[in-house]
Structure 1
């Protein structure tokens, strides 16, 4: 199933398939990884500081890494940041999040962000479909 086209139809009955097809979310993830590595080479000090900050923020604590990644997903959805959305979804899955936990996270993002949060949630649904997790 083409989840990008499905979400497009939901957004506009008049839009053509070509105008609306959402890019592959796995390609977005791979693009992010490439840009992250390139940035590490170009700005090692800055990226090192950022990595130390995120490492500290997402480490196991009172809240699990999984819960923190789901929180990060909510913020990414609210900000409309495609790399954040895809990255936090992938990292939440790696931390053990289930699709049901991710769907509840999407509900919270929609409750807090309204339809923009819902629209960005389609990206997550598409990614889960691409990963065979639906």
Structure 2
């Protein structure tokens, strides 16, 4: 019997095809399905301008977040930071805080969320408060 030549760094096609087919049969999926959840929408929106006064803060994600392991921190115009109290009556894919009083200036929402894939994800949403 004639043996095929082995070339360094070359992987024969048949074993790779069998490996891919076997993974598909047993429910293994490509890596993109393991991606972290993304922010779908936020209130206030990133880079938006809002009016002074009470404001709702809400972030919606592409998947479920584990609220007890998640956090929203608001940094105000003078650099002061405070951890916001999360409200519970929102869908499992969202984080929301009780309304906060805003005065004119630059703001940053720093969010931390335990993603549905088990990873801790973080991000920032900047917005500005200005009189109408």
TM range (shorter): under 0.3
* Higher-helix-fraction structure: 1
State which structure, 1 or 2, has the greater radius of gyration over its C-alpha atoms.
2
More strand by share: 2
The two structures have a TM-score, normalised by structure 2, of 0.27
